[in-house]
A and B are shown apart, each in its own frame.
Chain A
């Protein structure tokens, strides 16, 4: 059964902390892994990862894919209250997306 699992389900940290969010996948015909940030209405695209071991960075956010371990991590350094959101990952097979249920991150001032 194809599936994507994220951990932890929820996380509460203080401003300035660094967090690591995990995403593992088991899908057939894997093509890429996507990370999204969902605050209000719709998930906002963060990263798309297709190659193993190559880190993608955007400001304080970075992500890397490990195809051997069938997993990806999303790091957020020096967290801010504006980082509070649900972070979703999804595995793209080209024909379908398999979403995890997300990690709910709360950053306390």
Chain B
């Protein structure tokens, strides 16, 4: 099956620094990638949807300037948490699919997540 990887798997940083998380589709071209936050025992919160070559679409309440998303190629999307603070500590999970955006029941493949801890 299709594989999505994330790097790094975990990162610890100081408050005020920026952290970049990569999401890669390893054996397919991901037209659309999604970024989620995962809180313990809670639903995944969709942060943004990114389509290759265009600007990401952010969900309401998600700060665009704080969570920078770049989907520069069909196999790579990056999420940069700028000026990270302790409340940004969370699991960040990406998913990818080879269909254009416009949500439907199309299959999507999840990455393993990145655990961010901001001290």
Contact = CB atoms under 8 A, between A and B. Distances in A.
Interface in A59-109: 86, 88, 90, 95-99, 101-102, 104
A25 to B, nearest CB: 13
Contacts, number: 44
- Size bracket, chain B contacts: 20 to 34
B93 A48 contact: no
A36 B115 CA distance: 20
Interface string B6-34: 00011000000000000000000000000
Nearest to B36: A42
Interface string B31-50: 00000101001111110000
Contacts of A43: 36, 43-44
Q: How large is the interface on A (under 10, 10 to 19, 20 to 34, 35 or more residues)?
A: 10 to 19
Contact of A42 (B1, B10, B46, B105): B46
Interface of B: 1, 9-10, 36, 38, 41-46, 59, 91, 93, 95, 103, 105, 107, 109-110, 112-113, 115
